Structure 1
Amino acid sequence: MSGERLLVVEDDEVIGTELAEALTAQGYAAEWAPDGADALERAAARPPALVLLDLGLPDIDGVSLCRKLRTRLPDAVIVVLTARTREFEVVVALDAGADDYLTKPFRLTELMARLRAHLRRSNAARADERFLSRGRLSLDLAARRAAFDGTEIGLRPKEFDLLACLVAGAGEVVTRETLIDRVWDENWFGPTKTLDVHISALRRKLAEHGAGPGVITTLRGLGYRYEPGG
């Protein structure tokens, strides 16, 4: 899709700039990051739909960066680039969250075809996943709106994110660590009581719209569980 944001992470300036220019010429909004630190900053400021990630970076292990990007960009496509002599890294990178890989040298036409295919599938998946319904609760993830029995609930941003995480895993335990990582940040060092305060607010707002007291169950020492019939 024309205009989608892409991030090229490549320490070789010539390759990185040429790839970004080629992608821009195809109608994408492409940026180039020469190292891992710059990539994380750019990804946080302007989340890309797709990341083209070279594994051989000067400041951070490429696989570690892949893992960080996957945590922070759960919906983005990550395609790793690796030299033929480093193909062993591909298996580790795929386990770390990469969607695909290309070995160097590669043809630009092949790269473009791969990226277009991945973006088409990603966009289709996001469209299918826009609406999430469990029991009497429905969420519009794109519009960030929640409704209980058809009546909209006024939620703060973090409250909506928490509810979306819980509803996506309805009937299953979502650990405290998972909720904090997804809603705040994997490097969050604030008080974990913040999570409990937000859960309490969610329960109160759901109760105001007719949900029972057991709609969000606490499992002490583990986390929380959303009960669709609560």
Structure 2
Amino acid sequence: MSRILVVDDDPEMRELVAASLADEGHDVTAVGDGVAALIEAGRRTFDAAAVDVMLPEMTGFEICRRLRESGRTFPVILVTARDAVDDRIFGLDSGADDYLTKPFSLAELNARIRAQLRRQATVPTAPAMVEAGDVQLDTTAVRARIGGRTVAFSVKEFSLLRFLLVEAPEPVTRAAILTEVWGSAEHFDPTIVDQYVSYVRRKLAGAASTVTIATVRGVGYRAEAPE
């Protein structure tokens, strides 16, 4: 039995989602605002969460960001009527693992949660430190240092760079990156990988890093660092 946190200020929708997840055999805790969500996350260990974005006082984006800052790593699926690309990117940068737009079917939400739970069960334990060239990634604190200086990366940028460095010198496909970083190669446009590679390249270049990301034609991307 998995413990699922549901956060939605609409009582009817909250009850529908909670009942649907309970029917799937999950232990569900449902709350109506961000403060209650953070309190529950501090009290109990959850396996996944479905969080509405448009909440009073504290948005789903902020909830997700605070969960990550407090060290909570369970998958978070943001649910929202806002489907603009910028909103999806902002949500993912806040630390969300998936993004579901309204209207949605309860069956699809259940499927997304099952996919995230399967992914969590099969992800190997990452090394505490990943190093290549002048880049050091502390995977526990989600902190990056380049040439001895701390450089700010969003959660998704950090995860993308970590994956490329761990797999180097082998190239990785966009599908593999989507599965590793976003949790699914089915629900996201592969071009989002290109966007995030561009963001990471810009930050590496801005820090004058010796690590670069090469495009491998017909395959995807590869991290390159001096021996």
Q: TM range, normalised to the smaller chain?
A: 0.5 to 0.7
Measured at CA, do residues 101 and 85 of structure 1 come closer, stay the same or move farther in structure 2, by a change above 3 Å?
Answer: closer
Question: Runs of 4 or more off by more than 6 Å in structure 1?
Answer: none
Matches within 5 A, 1:212-223: none
The answer to whether the 8 A contact 2:83-2:101 is kept is no
- 2:125: which partner in 1? 129
Q: Aligned with 1:129: secondary structure?
A: coil
Provide the C-alpha distance between the structure 1 equivalents of 2:47 and 2:85, rounded to a whole number of angstroms: 25
In structure 2, give the amino acid aligned to 1:57. L
CA distance in 1 between counterparts of 2:92 and 2:130 reads 27
Change (3 A) 1:59 1:117: same
Counterpart of 1:76 in 2: which secondary structure? coil
Letter in 1 for 2:101: T
What runs of 5+ residues in structure 2 fail to find an aligned partner? 143-227
1:40-59 matches, within 5 Å, as: 40-59=38-57
User: Are the equivalent residues in 2 in contact too, given 1:47–1:73 (CA < 8 A)?
Assistant: no
Aligned: 1:99 with 2:97: yes
State the match for 2:36 in structure 1: 38
Alignment partner of 1:169 out of 120, 129, 132:
129
Q: CA deviation at 1:114?
A: 1.2
The secondary structure found in structure 1 opposite 2:104 is coil
The alpha carbon displacement at 1:86 in A equals 6.2
Which position in structure 2 is the counterpart of 1:64? 62
- Counterparts of 1:50 and 1:116, CA distance in 2: 9
Q: Deviations over 1:63-100 (max 9, x none)?
A: 11110112234430010001046664221010111011
For 1:155, the equivalent position in structure 2 comes to: none
Q: Quick one: distance in 1 between partners of 2:13 and 2:84? A: 18
SS of 2:20's equivalent in the other structure is helix
Paired with 2:18 and 2:85, the residues of 1 have a C-alpha distance of: 24
TM-score, length of structure 1 as denominator length: 0.54
Q: CA RMSD in A?
A: 2.4
Q: Partner amino acid for 2:125?
A: E
**Counterpart contact for 1:4–1:48, Cα < 8 Å:** yes
- CA 1:83–1:169: 2 relative to 1, 3 Å: same
Look up the match of 1:113: 111
The size of the alignment, in residue pairs, is 137
- Structure number with bigger Rg: 1
The runs of 5 or more residues in structure 1 that have no matched partner are 133-167, 180-230
Contact 1:80 1:98 (8 Å CA) reproduced: yes
Q: Call closer, same or farther: CA 1:17–1:87 in 2, change over 3 Å.
A: farther
1:57 alignment partner, SS class? coil
Distance 2:74 2:51 in 1: 12
- Residues 119-163 of structure 1: CA deviation (Å, up to 9, x unaligned): 1011111xx218x6xxxxxxxxxxxxxxxxxxxxxxxxxxxxxxx
Shift of residue 23, structure 1, vs aligned partner: 0.5
Partner of 1:77: 75
Q: State the secondary structure of the residue aligned to 2:58.
A: coil
Q: CA deviation at 1:110?
A: 1.2
